[in-house]
């Protein structure tokens, strides 16, 4: 028996052994339990998280632009008050 077919044979036998053992049931139950726990934790997907991060970045940029305009307006107002009519 050559090496690749020997490894395939061992892998196939291990897979069959695991299917026939309680390990498959344990794995299925563990996955179900984890899925239930994650649902209760109210987690978000990576895509939803990335969307929120992008939105926060855009909002921060808008706030910085508005703050700059406000500061510019305040500076303009001060200079207008200093100049006599």
User: Tens digit of pLDDT for each residue in 31-53?
Assistant: 888 888 877 888 888 999 999 99
Question: Residue 84 pLDDT > 70, yes or no?
Answer: no
Cβ neighbors of 44 (< 8 A, separation 6 or more) are 52
SS (H, E, C) the chain: CCHHHHHHHHHHHHHHHHHHCHHHHHHHHHHHHHHHHHHHCCCCCHHHHHHHHHHHHHHHHHHHHHHHHHHHHHHHHHHHHHCCC
Question: Residue 67 pLDDT > 90, yes or no?
Answer: yes
pLDDT of the residue at 85:
54
Cβ neighbors of 18 (< 8 A, separation 6 or more) are 24
Q: How far apart are CA 42 and CA 10, in angstroms?
A: 41
């Amino acid at each position: 028996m050559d090496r690749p077919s020997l490894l395939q044979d061992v892998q196939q036998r291990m897979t069959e052994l695991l299917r026939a053992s309680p390990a498959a049931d344990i794995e299925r139950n563990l996955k179900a339990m984890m899925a239930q726990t994650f649902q209760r934790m109210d987690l978000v997907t990576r895509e939803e998280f990335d969307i929120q991060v992008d939105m926060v970045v855009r909002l921060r940029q808008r706030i910085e632009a508005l703050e700059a305009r406000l500061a510019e307006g305040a500076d303009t107002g001060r200079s207008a008050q200093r100049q006599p009519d």
